[in-house]
Structure 1
């Protein structure tokens, strides 16, 4: 599928990136929390292993970072404990809450987070355009943002690194095409 993407007409690529969250959103809620936890924590430890080892994320000890992908309705609460990322349990479907509240939260649409991850968009730009929201302890939020800005994407597993770069480049082309069409 990924190999076909560059050869698709731009209108199809625009539709694919526009409708993908709407198609994925209902099915993603059925992915067990343990699977999400394993995948996310594995990726975070891979990317941030040097930062954790050097104590650059110690400021997250006893504090909770909430990350929300708004268009997919996915949220996770993360912290650092014993030099490892930890994830809070899933919110109770009955009460909608956990006993943990976030110290700071980052929220954005999936495509904007993909552009940040692929280094195609600057988090500061998205913040000032109100496409990336940082709420709560702003000083902690700036520390998190600075660590994210400093990460070396080469620490990602090679297949994941390739996918992020490829999809971010495709998405950037789609956004540019959308902007050009809206100006015409």
Structure 2
């Protein structure tokens, strides 16, 4: 896909707003089911319950800033998603950074230092959660999820390159 630099920049600036609109109209209950299902497919596929025991009853808050999406994940042998609540640790980032982390194109530690990914709360627990997520192998994910992540990442990186945005990726 080739577009001019100006068009690429415009698409990159419009994308988060375009994605946030459906997020606002989709009921949270549906978003929660989708997030819980994706976590179950991704995490439970690679780890046994003993490896996930440190997550049990210790909520993790997530904010996707540019999509205005907030939720709290709790593990009780399965994942439950709440719209709000207390959490032992909160992670916050824009969708771009989260996508690049999922695609193993960006290191979360680098994003922490660049203040593009933030963590608040119990630091030790937050690092354990981050390490668990970083040990997820993209190749072990369900094919549709893997292909979706790779396709979105390819479009994002292509548009950024055409917009003249350079990055040092892994």
Measured at CA, do residues 160 and 15 of structure 1 come closer, stay the same or move farther in structure 2, by a change above 3 Å? farther
1:164 aligns with 2:146: no
Measured at CA, do residues 122 and 135 of structure 1 come closer, stay the same or move farther in structure 2, by a change above 3 Å? same
Q: TM-score, normalised by structure 2?
A: 0.87
1:45 aligns with 2:40: yes
Paired residues of 1:67 and 1:107 also in contact (CA < 8 A)? yes
Give the gaps of 5 or more residues in structure 1.
Answer: 1-5, 92-99
Q: Superposition RMSD on alpha carbons, in Å?
A: 1.8
More displaced stretch, 51-60 vs 149-158: 51-60
Give the gaps of 5 or more residues in structure 2.
Answer: none
> What is the deviation of 1:25?
1.9
Q: TM-score, normalised by structure 1?
A: 0.81
Pick 1 or 2: higher relative contact order, CA cutoff 8 A, min separation 6. 2
Taking the aligned partners of 2:140 and 2:38, their CA distance within structure 1 comes to 9
The number of residues matched between the two structures is: 165
Measured at CA, do residues 26 and 15 of structure 1 come closer, stay the same or move farther in structure 2, by a change above 3 Å? same
Taking the aligned partners of 1:130 and 1:104, their CA distance within structure 2 comes to 16
> What is the deviation of 1:114?
0.7
Measured at CA, do residues 135 and 144 of structure 1 come closer, stay the same or move farther in structure 2, by a change above 3 Å? same
